[in-house]
Chains A and B, each alone.
Chain A
Amino acid sequence: DIVMTQSPDSLAVSLGERATINCKSSQSVLYSSNNKNYLAWYQQKPGQPPKLLIYWASTRESGVPDRFSGSGSGTDFTLTISSLQAEDVAVYYCQQYYSTPRITFGPGTKVDIK
């Protein structure tokens, strides 16, 4: 199985400041035939199911605010919230789908307000 790790485990950011979450996969999730990274990001608020934010490492899902952006390639990826809002307090998970359907998730990063 492809193992996903995330850093930090948690972070606290002031409102309006940037939040950066890192994700690393145990093997490359870049598929050479189409040059796409099989990496997604989800947001989960307390008591709610996860919500898809980004797939193909950087494609924003419809309706997701543009303050959320994804970057990276191969084994190293980043989710950036450019200007943290109160409603962004949540746990964020990265997920690989290179080995679909055996998808695996990172352990999550908790984002709070400083």
Chain B
Amino acid sequence: EVQLVESGGGLVQPGGSLRLSCAASGFTFSSYEMNWVRQAPGKGLEWVSYISSSGSTIYYADSVKGRFTISRDNAKNSLYLQMNSLRAEDTAVYYCARDLPMVRGVVDVWGKGTTVTVSS
């Protein structure tokens, strides 16, 4: 079964850091482009970051650029998001999301999400 399982969320103070992980299984992780997408409480979906299958190409939303770092370890079938200088507006459920093969930008597999709360 194709599966993405996020972990690492929690409560953190403003200015703090957190590292999210996403464990992939059931497919050849190294062949797929991946994303992080977040959803603030009661709000819509916001794309956060993208990484190519090899990890050589990376993009960020302007709202997180310079504070968040996406990475992957294909040997461990894992995707990561290092989040620094966290703000209240970063509070959200963070989803690990796989691009549909041959249709870059369409997410065909989503994890269940991990909740990040930034509050003092």
> Which residues of A pack against B, CB within 8 Å?
38, 40, 42, 48-52, 55-56, 61, 93, 95, 97, 100-108
Alpha-carbon distance A49/B100, docked complex (angstroms): 16
Q: Are B104 and A50 neighbours in the complex by a CB distance under 8 Å?
A: no
Q: Does B89 contact A (CB under 8 A)?
A: no
Binds A, one of B11-19, B75-83, B105-113: B105-113
The main secondary structure of chain B at its interface with chain A is: strand
From A49, A56, A100, contact of B111 by CB (8 A) = A49
Alpha-carbon distance A56/B100, docked complex (angstroms): 12
A9 to chain B, nearest CB (A): 11
Alpha-carbon distance A95/B35, docked complex (angstroms): 15
* A residues less than 8 Å from B112 (CB atoms): 48-49
A57 to chain B, nearest CB (A): 11
A to B CB contacts below 8 Å, 19 in the list: A38-B105, A40-B106, A42-B45, A42-B107, A49-B95, A49-B110, A49-B111, A49-B112, A55-B103, A93-B45, A95-B45, A95-B106, A101-B33, A101-B50, A101-B104, A103-B35, A103-B105, A105-B46, A107-B44
